[in-house]
Amino acid sequence: MTEDEKELVKVAAEAAFRPFAELTQKLFGGACEQIGGYWEDGLRFRRQIRQLSLLKNLSAAIEEAGFSPRAIPDVIWIPAVEEASRVDDETLQDTWANLLANAADPRQESMNPAFSAILRELTSREVRFLQELFNEVNGVIHRRLDLQGLMNVYLRSTERYGGQPDNSEFYLILEILERNRILSEHLTRESVAPIRPKPGILAGDTSGLQDLQGYNKFTLLGYAFVQACQKPKAS
């Protein structure tokens, strides 16, 4: 394609998408320079700011732990930095920094690349719930928690971060964690149907739960993942 032909294509594309300029301004905060797939400096700047925040958190975690970092494999740091540059949430930024810090810690075994893919699937609500759950089991990987115990963990997590408990959110969190094989669901009898909420049960209301039999616990993958998301300990 000649330069003249490229210019014609560019002009035609800009004309075709011009009616959507206001929409892209609202949706992307002015990040879309033109619909040909080019992004203006605004998006690049926002991502750089997030990367700087990540590096500050990462540097602080390494310094507090007091170790000399090793090189992180590309398969670990590239997706981690890429994903961290997409999020503004402080909890997620801290978690990505902890994941990278553990990958750089020579005292640790090599990091599993699957952890980056798992964290990418989670929001801050799942991460906060997992942190509270990790504290609840207190290092006991096979500690079982029934539905009421999990709900109590959720309520503490919500209260700690100033949120409002919501019954649907609680069960959605469990579904997401089970989907990512962080938690496994077990039934006490094979004949019992899968445990799911009855309509109208409010978070914190334990009425009607006595008939729900079963429990959740960390999988090996899930426990290792949450460990990797903790801030490295000092030597």
Structure-block tokens of residue 13: 């594309």
Q: Which of helix, strand or coil describes residue 182?
A: coil
Q: What is the pLDDT of residue 94?
A: 96
Question: Across residues 167-187, what is the average pLDDT?
Answer: 90
- Band (212; pLDDT cuts 50, 70, 90): very low
Closest Cα partner for 108 from 65, 161, 137?
65
Q: Residues 94-153: pLDDT tens digits?
A: 999 999 999 999 998 889 999 999 999 999 999 999 999 999 998 788 888 888 899 999
Is it true that domain 124-226 has CATH number 1.25.60? no
- Band (196; pLDDT cuts 50, 70, 90): very low
Structure-block tokens of residue 212: 């729900």
- Band (206; pLDDT cuts 50, 70, 90): very low
The better pLDDT of the pair 225, 31 is held by 225
Extents of the domains making up the chain: 1-39, 45-120, 124-226
DSSP 5-43: HHHHHHHHHHHHHGGGHHHHHHHHTT-EEETTTEE-HHH
Find residue 215's DSSP bridge partners: 186
Q: What is the pLDDT of residue 193?
A: 39
Structure-block tokens of residue 227: 């460990």
Question: Across residues 203-209, what is the average pLDDT?
Answer: 47
Q: What is the pLDDT of residue 102?
A: 95
Closest Cα partner for 182 from 115, 232, 230?
115
Please give the Cα distance from 229 to 87 (Å, whole number).
16
Question: Across residues 74-96, what is the average pLDDT?
Answer: 92
Structure-block tokens of residue 17: 């998408």
Q: Residues 2-43: pLDDT tens digits?
A: 776 666 656 665 666 566 666 556 655 554 444 444 445 567
Closest Cα partner for 197 from 166, 156, 164?
166
Q: What is the pLDDT of residue 8?
A: 63
- Band (197; pLDDT cuts 50, 70, 90): very low
Q: Which helix (H) or strand (E) element contains residue 38?
A: strand 38-39
